[in-house]
Structure 1
Amino acid sequence: MSTDYDPHASSLTGTTDEAVLAELYAIRGSIDNIDASLVYLLAERFKFTQRVGELKARHDLPPSDPGREAAQIARLHALARDADLEPEFAEKFLTFIIAEVIRHHRAIAEADAGQDGPADG
């Protein structure tokens, strides 16, 4: 983690009871740990979607798979309900990730098509 990160950065320092700040910092520490885990999980997820994009490019498959995307959104709705998270939020989050994955898949397909194209000369 970056050494310039201050886990106690707050506009409340000096204006709020120290005991309240200590509890706030402890809770925020847990949030920071979860955020770090999310970043690493997303990085791991994108490693796999990169492999999917490469496979699709090699076999001339489209970058987007609407059937898979619809199934994933339905699955995430169910998971969100089970986790007591708003399904609409989960859908927005997944939709954002899917859009980024498709963008990556298109870039991979374009790069792959460029490698297979005719040589200059």
Structure 2
Amino acid sequence: MTTSAPGTPPGSDGDGHSGSAIDASVQSELTRLRESIDNIDAAVVHMLAERFKATQQVGFLKAEHHLPPADPAREARQITRLRELAKSARLDPAFAEKLLNFIIAEVIRHHETIAGETRGHDA
């Protein structure tokens, strides 16, 4: 009979799973995979940070030259491009498009903020 650790519900392995304890080899593989996921998440965050540094520079350039924050033609090209990249990477293109639309909306918001701040300094 398996006993639970103190404070752990009976039949739980302490990781939110009910049933019998996870086999050591399965736990080891879960840990390995989760460490890989954590590394990928960190890389994604760093890549997004670099992307937003570049888009911030675009925002300043647009504001300086009184260009609109949004560029629907470029956005459409980027969505088409990203959907194709997603297909070749075996990632759901609809998911990739949703992600890019979220990022684009955030970039436009940043560009609008930069344009507003720039106009405030021009006055």
Under a length normalisation based on structure 2, what TM-score does the superposition of the two structures give?
A: 0.84
**What CA RMSD, in Å, does the superposition of the two structures yield over aligned residues?**
1.6
Distance in structure 1 (CA, Å) of the matches to 2:31 and 2:116: 47
Q: Aligned ranges for residues 30-45 of structure 1 at < 5 Å?
A: 30-45=36-51
Measured after TM superposition, the shift of residue 15 of structure 1 is 2.9
Counterpart residue number, 2:9: none
The reply to whether residue 116 of structure 1 matches residue 122 of structure 2 is yes
Measured after TM superposition, the shift of residue 19 of structure 1 is 1.5
The reply to whether residue 28 of structure 1 matches residue 34 of structure 2 is yes
How many residue pairs get aligned? The number is: 109
Distance in structure 1 (CA, Å) of the matches to 2:75 and 2:15: 40
1:81 maps to which of 83, 87, 110:
87
Secondary structure, in 3 states, of the residue corresponding to 1:67?
Answer: helix
1:60 maps to which of 62, 66, 80:
66
Q: Give the unaligned 5+ runs of structure 2.
A: 1-13
Counterpart residue number, 1:5: none
Counterpart residue number, 2:100: 94
Secondary structure, in 3 states, of the residue corresponding to 1:64?
Answer: coil
Measured after TM superposition, the shift of residue 10 of structure 1 is 3.5
Q: Give the unaligned 5+ runs of structure 1.
A: 1-8
